[in-house]
Amino acid sequence: MNRCIIFLALSIVLNTSIFAQTSTVWRNGTDGVYPEKGLLKSWSESGPEILWVFEGLGEGHSSPAFALNHIFVSTMLGQEGYIFVLDMNGKEVKRYPYGTEFYESYNGARSTPVIVGDWLYIYSGQGVIYAFEALTGKLRWQKDMLANTDGKNIQWGVTETVVVDAGLLYLSPGGKEQNIVALDSKTGETVWSSAAKGELSAYCTPRLIEFEYRKLLVTMMASHIVGVDAETGKFLWSHYQPNQWSVHANTPVFSNGMLYCTSGYGQGTVALQLNEDGSSATQKWFNSSLDNRMGGTVLIDGYLYGSGDKNRGWYCIDAQSGEQKWSSKTPGNGVVIAADGMLYIYSDRGELVLAKATPDAFELTGQTKVSHGTAQHWAHPVINNGILYLRHGDALIAYKIK
């Protein structure tokens, strides 16, 4: 009996430890603002120092993930998806395959790996979720989400970095009935599914928001922003947010009860006020200028920053009122992240730009051209330990910014 009690106690401790482990999260919690301090406020004419470049990475638009003192990058070689494991000096340690990637258009891996403890999860452009032992590549389980639900793939392939929290893994296969689902992160078994609005997925990584009495999962589907209870899958609310191609690739930004959702192709940004437990949402303002397609926005000291899509240029918007503070036609449209009061902009023309995060005016303090790599300039940069990591197709570049 004592042995049974000890075994049960150990099991509880181990399982609690597994569920409590911190997950890597795309865009540092999906808001794109990194906690680094003491970073350079300006760059030389040649830009920040390049510490190293890893080339031969293959095709893809995903970001690197950092865990276990290694760098993990998803990519595609031929038509096969791979995880590259690099050491912190940019040397390849291992690579392992995970199945067919999306090769029909804009080839390459889309989703960023998520690491929890020594587990790695990757969701392919073909709609298959894989769980690996992160460093060795040993497959623990896999599940074809389109074959095992009533979901179907979208025009440019599944582009969603999964969210893992408290033993659950969240994703959006986009079926009429199994629209958004939660899986057991250790087995891949379905814990719950929600019909939500029954729309196709829309290239959006979900946002998990924790209230006092509820965890809320928010994502953008083909024509609606939707909120579901993260523990039960109960559909709580929706907000109509359509655009021309049903592409809503920007994860919602949340702060102080306000949810900011940005869509491209001329749609714009809506601010939704959530009630105290996240069970309802009411529109507070709408701004059509900030219509970024897939480069994200950042919220700093009460102001939203990001580029347009059809509306060419960069914008600063008052997050409380939706009022535009400034716009700038330089640099080109693209991706933005932030840290230490600075904006790090990666344009679709291959410009890497440093600017002050201020509502007064667009003030550029550094610029360089990304000369390494291949194909589109779409991947979101990552800041880790004073280094900015930029993936451009076949290359991963490490810039010293501290």
pLDDT confidence tier of residue 18, bands split at 50, 70 and 90: very low
Strand, coil or helix: what is 30? helix
Nearby residues of 1 by Cβ (< 8 Å), 6 or more positions away: none
Per-residue pLDDT reduced to its tens digit, 373-396: 999 999 999 999 999 999 999 999
> Is the backbone peptide bond immediately before 331 cis, with ω within 30 degrees of 0?
yes
Render 279-327 in DSSP notation, one character per residue: S-EEEEEEESS---SSS--EEETTEEEEE-SSS-SEEEEETTT--EEEE
pLDDT at 17 over 60: no
List the one residue out of 290, 284, 402 whose CA is nearest residue 336: 290
Task: Name the phi and psi angles at 295, rounded to 5.
Answer: -100, 0
The per-residue pLDDT for 78 is 97
Task: Report the pLDDT value the prediction gives residue 30, as an integer from 0 to 100.
Answer: 79
Q: Outline where 154-247 has alpha helix (H).
A: none
Residue/partner pairs of 235-239 with CB below 8 Å, 24 or more apart = 235/194, 235/195, 235/196, 235/197, 236/278, 236/279, 236/280, 237/279, 237/280, 237/281, 238/196, 238/197, 239/270, 239/272, 239/281, 239/283
- On average, the pLDDT of the chain sits at 94
Give the pLDDT band (50/70/90) at residue 6: very low
Q: From residue 76, how far is each of 82, 94, 95, 109, 311 by CA, in Å? A: 6, 15, 11, 6, 32
Residues 94 and 86: beta-carbon distance below 8 Å: no
The whole-number pLDDT of residue 22 equals 87
pLDDT for 115 equals: 98
Q: Which of 217, 138, 223 is nearest to 171 (CA)?
A: 217
pLDDT at 11: 38
Q: How far is CA 320 from CA 46, 189, 261, 290, 299, in A?
A: 38, 41, 14, 15, 11
pLDDT of residue 353 exceeding 80, the answer is: yes
Dist CA 255 CA 282 (whole Å):
15
pLDDT at 21: 75
Return the structure tokens found at 77: 């070689």
Helix or strand run (H / E) with residue 355: strand 351-356
Percent of the chain whose pLDDT exceeds 90 = 94
What type of residue sits at position 319?
A
Would you state the pLDDT for residue 125? 98
What band does 246 get if pLDDT is binned at 50, 70 and 90?
very high
- Rounded-to-integer distance, Cα 299 and Cα 220, Å: 19
pLDDT band at 206 (very low <50, low <70, confident <90, very high): very high
Q: Which residues contact 16 (CB under 8 A, 6 or more apart)?
A: none
Per-residue pLDDT at 147 exceeds 90: yes
At 233 the pLDDT is 98
Query: Are 74 and 113 in contact, with CB atoms under 8 Å apart?
Result: yes
Radius of gyration of the chain (CA): 20
C-beta atoms surrounding 364 within 10 Å: 16
Task: Work out the pLDDT band at 29, boundaries 50, 70, 90.
Answer: confident
248-298 pLDDT tens trace: 999 999 999 999 999 999 999 999 999 999 999 999 999 999 999 999 999
Confidence (pTM) = 0.94
Beta bridge partners of 216: 209, 229
